[in-house]
Structure 1
Amino acid sequence: MPQLPRYEYTGPVDCTIPPDTAKLVGKSVIVTGGANGMGETTVRAFAAAGAFVTIADLNEERGKAIAEELSPNAQFVKCNITSWDEQVQLFEAAIANSPNKSCDIVIANAGISRASGDDLWPLDDPNGPPVKPQLKIIDVNITGTLYTWKLAVHYFRKQPDVPERDRCFIITGSMVAWIDSPANWQYTCSKYGLRGLMRTARRSSWEQGIRINYVAPCYIKSAIRSPEYEAQLIQKGVEFAPQEDVATCMMKLATDQTINGHSLMITPKSVSKEGFMDAGQDDHIEEGYFKRNQEVQLRIIEDKWDEGCIKGRTAEGALINGSQ
């Protein structure tokens, strides 16, 4: 498997170095939510670079059309990411039909937002019974992505043990993982949670040769948004970034095997000429309580991430008498 160093903060990612797209030739890439928006743009960029891309989406008509257009560098698999069985079929198809029978890069991009309806937001009649909310956004963004991560780990470990293979997992997050976004309750919870997954998984993922990173778009140009609403946002100070910058950021992470455990944020060109930069918010650098507690936590939790990791330890992680 790829040999990676233990995670430690060594400074921000240098985003001025463009991705070496030649490294994508022959790689097998899964993109969930790949039939529209940022996902589609990412699919197209990776396929153009010579990767074989498996598009996972519920939009069968659109997904098949994109795959046919990009053939032989793409295929479509209809997949609801909240279904474990459908995601298993997705990974099996990605490996079976890729040129090298591999799964090198997984981009967990599928997700839904407040536009899908957030039942936590409406105020119910205080004189009536409480209304149980549907948590569809959480189900898709958290449960679905955790399924994708679990399966990616499983199939990454089946990779041929050769230098040209990779084990790269990228999460499409959001800037709401750092900034307050009123009324985006479930969405914000989910994107905070996925950033937490990246931060905790990076402490163990290197043991299995897996890199995990987080991409945080904010306002991205999209045909889904009406021109009228877009004009309102611009009037209120929003600067949009193009979808192509998201794809370039994904390729940067996928081609630079030195990057692990970072959050890159998509920015307007007025902030970063590359269109993305290291968020620089995922490590406690300054001396103080947070840094001390982080160091203590890493000393307390020393579990190895291997098949025998629970042997000799209790469920909470304590050593059983006589164990090492």
Structure 2
Amino acid sequence: MPGRLEGKVIIVTGAASGLGQASARRMTEEGADVLLADINEAQGHAIAEELGPRAAFRRCDVTSEDDVASLVDDAVTRHGRLDCMFNNAGVVGASGPIDELRLDEFEFVTAVLLRSVFLGMKHAARVMKPVGAGVILSTTSIAGVQGGWGPHLYAGAKAGVVGLTRNVAAELSTHGIRVVAIGPGKIVTPMTISRVVDDPDDPEQMAEAFRKRTPLRGHHGLPEDVANAAVWLASDEAAFVSGTTVMVDGGLTSGSKEGVTTDQLASWARRSS
């Protein structure tokens, strides 16, 4: 039985670990040819080799226009087209009071989280517009749609991804290209684990810590949750989805609270006569 992404050509940035690695893995399982991109060459090559002939790795600094343009051209040279660009590479960056943050910290975080998305969109559009089809996905965050979920610079850049997604979708819809953002919540990744638990190598401590950080009982956020959303959005099953942010956050941005038990629910969730 053909996979949901059979025959599609996809680029995933930040693919050496975390959300990108999980997404690249699921996309190859669903039949796509995936070009993994990252600055971590050793890990990137290892993952691509593990995933088999449908996967290849290319080093890419997503803040460099030359690197991103070359990455897109490589996908087209290898496979004749690009069906989906997943702008996923990211960092958390500097934390601290707004009056103490430095300009160089701002420039670094926005380069990795926002300039990279702009470059990915620009060069994906360059090769998708003549074809009249394609999907551009980008990773934002709960911090990009609500305040208080992340450091100032991270939140600002992720909010920029949401706005850029809406605006670029409005343009590219006339070319048959869909543009969507994915908003992960508190997901267990190497980038987030060290900020949540004392011992990132203790699986029990990690699982318990993240279980307490989601309102959705019985499940904590995993990279595979984001990967499954990315697979669906890249597939023809999501053919009518564009210009929006799909939240994968266990309900956090719905206003639900973390770690609340059933008997602690607000009055509106209790039956009254």
Match of 2:245 among 263, 270, 275: 263
- Conserved? CA contact 2:187–2:222, under 8 Å: yes
- Conserved? CA contact 1:120–1:133, under 8 Å: no
Length-normalised TM-score, structure 1: 0.67
- Conserved? CA contact 1:120–1:186, under 8 Å: no
Match of 1:196 among 156, 163, 167: 163
Q: Which runs of 5+ in 1 are unaligned?
A: 1-19, 125-130, 278-324
Q: What is aligned with 1:26?
A: 7
- Conserved? CA contact 2:9–2:81, under 8 Å: yes
Q: What is aligned with 1:58?
A: 39
Q: Secondary structure at the match of 1:153?
A: helix
> What does residue range 30-49 of structure 1 map to in structure 2 within 5 Å?
30-49=11-30
> What does residue range 53-132 of structure 1 map to in structure 2 within 5 Å?
53-98=34-79, 101-114=80-93, 117-118=94-95, 121=98, 123=100, 132=103
Q: What is aligned with 1:253?
A: 233
> What does residue range 150-161 of structure 1 map to in structure 2 within 5 Å?
150-159=122-131
Provide the aligned length of Structure 1 versus Structure 2. 238
Equivalent-residue separation in structure 1 for 2:211 and 2:73 (angstroms): 46
Match of 1:205 among 169, 172, 180: 172
Q: Secondary structure at the match of 1:195?
A: helix
Q: 1:182/1:263 Cα in 2 relative to 1: closer, same or farther (>3 Å)? A: closer
Structure with a larger share of its residues in helix: 2
Equivalent-residue separation in structure 2 for 1:258 and 1:195 (angstroms): 18
Q: 1:218/1:102 Cα in 2 relative to 1: closer, same or farther (>3 Å)? A: same
Q: Secondary structure at the match of 1:53?
A: strand
Q: Secondary structure at the match of 2:53?
A: coil
- Conserved? CA contact 2:142–2:149, under 8 Å: no
> Runs of 4 or more off by more than 4 Å in structure 1?
118-122, 229-233
Q: 1:235/1:150 Cα in 2 relative to 1: closer, same or farther (>3 Å)? A: closer
Equivalent-residue separation in structure 2 for 1:156 and 1:26 (angstroms): 16
Equivalent-residue separation in structure 1 for 2:19 and 2:174 (angstroms): 31
Q: 1:183/1:177 Cα in 2 relative to 1: closer, same or farther (>3 Å)? A: closer
Does residue 1:137 correspond to 2:109, yes or no?
Answer: yes
**1:23 positional shift:** 3.7
Compare CA radii of gyration and give the structure with the larger one. 1
**1:179 positional shift:** 1.8
- The RMSD of aligned alpha carbons is 2.8
Match of 1:215 among 182, 191, 199: 182
Q: Which runs of 5+ in 2 are unaligned?
A: 215-219, 255-273
> What does residue range 273-292 of structure 1 map to in structure 2 within 5 Å?
none
**1:71 positional shift:** 2.2
Q: Share of identical aligned residues, percent? A: 26
